[in-house]
A and B are shown apart, each in its own frame.
Chain A
Amino acid sequence: MASSTLASASAEAPPAARPGLLAKLRRRPAFAISSAIALVVCAMAAVPQAFAGWFGGGDPRKCDLVNSGLPPAPGHPFGFDIQGCDLYSNVVYGARSSVLIALLVTAGMIVVAVVLGSLAGYFRGWVDAVISRVMDVFFGFPALVGMIVLLQAASTHNEWTVSAVLILFGWPVLARVMRGSVLETATGEYVAAARGVGAGTARILLRHVLPNALGPVAVLTGLNVGGVIASESALTFLGVGLQTPAISWGVQLNTAQQYFVTSPHLLIFPSIFLTVTVLSFVLLGDSLRDAFDPRLRQEVARP
């Protein structure tokens, strides 16, 4: 029975491998539906031409004032807006700015949050103190008011300026999570072990800490995309975001409010698109989080 130690371990089989994340995700209906919708919205943003022409119309700028505010008609399932343009193709084209802003803001927030959060979490001390105080300032400030003031002062209102403002007020939430996650990862034993064999700060940060600390931030970012789209529309609706002639759901809703009584379809169709899009991104983020976060999967045993 007492065989050599060395021979014995090689024969050890691994514990059964975990089922893949994707396999787990595919079994969730919420994930399937929300990711399908999100994909369609992204496709609409990328190639609106392909969708806009389905019912005959197709050019959002081909307008005829004669049709101003008319309800749905054959070939124009959503009716016409105040300028007499086909509302359906306008709504389709509206996805573009929403998705573009969502992308820009998400990318921007991740970069800022990962850099600042990692610096604060890894180096601690005064670096952390400075970054954390800056975050506190943003947390204490009413974000909506801040965004409105800044955008009102801005001279141009395009996707870039709106994104910049959304990033400015959005990064602290992510950075705080990143900081916490880095703090936890950096005290991990495998980080100490890497330092023990002589790895330098850059290697430890890039090779060990970042990849292992990104999980929660990635998940939170996913949860945020829906919120970003909603905020963009809200700012635009309030008149400080994108402005006509830009095509966006927010702009459409902004115009629609004045004509709600006479032409309710102007409000209804863009809102449906906006709501479904936001909802599907939120659901998508949610199911990603459930799949990623093992803490939510554990059952708690209590007497």
Chain B
Amino acid sequence: MKTPGTRKPEEELPNTKPSRRNLIALSASVAAAGLTTLAACNTKPAETAPSMLGTAPSKYGNRSPHEAAARSLPPESKTPSTGASRTPLQDTYGIITPSSLHFERHHSGVPDIDPAKHELLIHGLVEQPLVYSLDDLKRFPAQSRVHFVECSGNGRSEYSGNLAPDPQASHGLASCSEWTGVPVKLLLAEAKLKPEAKWLIAEGGDACKLTRSIPLAKLLDDAMIVYGQNGEPIRPEQGYPMRLLLPGWEGNTNIKWLRRLNLADGPAMTTHETAFYTDLLPDGKARQFSFENEAKSVITRPAGGQKIAAGPGMHDITGLAWSGRGKITRVEISTDGGRIWKDAELQMAGFAKAFTRFRMPWIWDGSATSIQSRATDETGYLQPAAEEMLAVRGRNFGYHNNQIKTWFVRADGTVSHVEQGA
């Protein structure tokens, strides 16, 4: 199988040196083909070369210089501060996204915030308005939880039929981290809610002071203010020094660089809950306050932009699934265009509202076909097909697309987002 990566098939280099990955692919095909072919691969082992001393310990580690997985950047723009970078899902293992590869979406850039000067204000319909520094937050009992964050614009081009060519382009506005922080309800208990308090208007400390209205029930449920991400302080791109984390809810509501929580009797109808992040139906009505991201899955290997270089034989299909409504309970895979669906193996006991890694062995007979995955979550909700989605929502819905993603495998092993000849 081709190295999962961003390199396009046409940029594929001839297989001169056997790379580690090619060797793995080779051994897979060897296993499939049976022991008889083993002799052909039995080249003379290299002699042990004189050893070279490695580098000394360092203060902050870097990945191997041989690795190049990277976020993809938006097209050039006069206002690069409003834009998004995408996670190379096809290059990640397991369920945790490295912090350096977590997707970004900001509307006015990443602010440079000195935590010593940053304060979080709670006010509005509370008995006692309060402020908290980062150090104050750390005095609360810390909780760590694994959750995905996903921009509700993830996969939006699929509505228009402009299918994205690889998992990074189609699903890369989602990432999953272990987050550490404090439940919002502990802070609200300190400030003491007035009975009229029904919504919370959260605001960030970025240039545009991005703001969203959140119903109180979510804050009393599993909302957190987090300052840790994957064992470190959260990255500036993710809201350093503190962000709101609303597990399973559209990314934009997870206010970064959190500076203010205003308790109110109703929503503020902010720009990002009226003009944006609303879903337009064919009749001209737009749906508002669509918070949960519905169950979704994508095969990350073999997937668009890759090549099954080892040819026909045994391969592992793997991918990621997640739901904003709870745990993923089932992922099915079809390798024949959606006629037969088989259960994939879910790796590890799944966390709720987190990435779940799935896999299934597949013996590819070398003929052109299409592969798809579909997820079911603990509410029983099943991820719909593109046509089913389109029939209800139309082409201008814009956000919250969770339709099944199809990858087309061609006889030469290349994998694409479009059918051959289409």
Q: A and B from one assembly?
A: no
